Every structure is written in C-alpha cells, then in structure tokens.
Structure 1
Amino acid sequence: MSDTLRRTRLDTAPKVERPRLYKVILVNDDYTPRQFVVTILKAEFRLSEDQAGRVMITAHQKGSCVVSVYPQDVAETKATRATEAGRAKGHPLTFTTEPEA
C-alpha cells in the first residue's frame, strides 16, 4: 500500500467525540427522611450504604451534592426516576442534572 493511500485513509477516518457528560445532583430538602434518601441512592444509583450516607449528609450540610456523572440521557433518566420515587411516597425529594464543566 502506498504512503499516499495510507495517509488518505487515515485522514478520512471519522472522528468520534465522547458524549458530553452530565452531573446528577441531589438537592437537599428539610422534609424527606434521611433513610429514604439513602434507599433511593442505593436503588437508583447503585451506591453502597456508606456511599449513599455520605452523599445524603453532604447534600444536607451543603445544600446539594453530585451523586454521579453520566451521558445526558442516562443522567436525565436517573434523576427523573429518583425524583418520581420520592414523589410517589409524598416526599419533595429532588434530583437535577447539569452539564459537567
């Protein structure tokens, strides 16, 4: 294969960009029971008991906490499902998403 042909093939190879990542953020509220928040974090985000407890306490102390980072569609789905799980039990539990910097 000639260098020209090889160079042409390499130059025309498609450039694939990684999808933009989004943070899922737990927003603190003063009404949702702490253990319920931990349960949701474990179920929806597959966090361990210890990890979920740390995320919950950080959100409680600082007002919010990043739970995890995913591609946009996954982040939005997880945030929506976790928020809806809280609403289904009558809690104002809220998860939001925002682009990673």
Structure 2
Amino acid sequence: MLEVLVFNDDVTPMDFVVNVLERVFGKSRDEAIKIMLEAHHDGQASCGVYAETHARDLASRAKVCAEQAGHPLKFSVAKATPSG
C-alpha cells in the first residue's frame, strides 16, 4: 500500500488544490478543504492510502491536472506507515 502526498507551494491557488482533490481523489468538499489546509499549514498532507498501482495512477493524474493548468502543485507516493 502506498500513501499519496500533496505538497504545499506558494503559487497554486487553494481552490485549485481543493478541486483536484475532489475530481481526482473523489474527496468530498469538506475532506478536500481539510487536506488542503493541512498541506498549507504543515507543508504536506495525505490524500489517502491506496494499492500501489492505484496510488501511482492517482498521483500521476493529479500532477497532469496541475501541469496543464500551469501550477507547480506536487504529489508523490510513499510507503504507507501503519497507524496506531
């Protein structure tokens, strides 16, 4: 399992980040805002934990959305750490 991370930057509009989280990751508006604010305050936030292929696909799709819109928004995948 891999965790998809979104990273804060000082250029990408917050509304755009929320929109990508909703469209690509299927997050509700409230979930997307929470994730965006966490990234904004902490520098990064988890978009969720997914099977490896799905995680890589989601991160890639999100990166393409940002690139096409001309934003430097970054996503990456990392080995998920057990919680608790």
> The TM-score by the shorter chain falls in which range?
over 0.9
Query: Alpha-carbon deviation of 1:31?
Result: 0.4
Alpha-carbon distance in 1 for matches of 2:16, 2:77: 20
The alignment yields a C-alpha RMSD, in angstroms, of 0.5
Choose the corresponding residue for 1:34, options 14, 20, 23.
14
Structure with more contact order per residue of length (Cα contacts < 8 Å, sep ≥ 6)? 2
Q: C-alpha displacement at 1:80, in angstroms?
A: 0.7
Partner Cα distance (1:37, 1:81) in 2? 13
Taking the aligned partners of 2:69 and 2:26, their CA distance within structure 1 comes to 20
Q: Could you give the per-residue CA deviations for residues 45-85 of structure 1, whole angstroms, max 9, x where no partner exists? A: 11011100000000000000011100111000100110110
Letter in 2 for 1:76: R
What residue number does 1:86 align with? 66
Q: Identity percentage over the alignment? A: 36
2:26 aligned with 1:46: yes
Determine the C-alpha separation between the residues in 2 that align with 1:63 and 1:73.
Answer: 25
CA distance in 2, matches of 1:72, 1:29: 25
For structure 2, list consecutive stretches of 5 or more residues without a partner in the other structure. none
Unaligned stretches of 5+ residues in structure 1: 1-20
Moved over 6 A (4+): none
Match of 1:61 among 33, 41, 45: 41
1:6-45 to structure 2, matched below 5 A, reads: 21-45=1-25
TM-score by length of 1: 0.79
Aligned length: 81
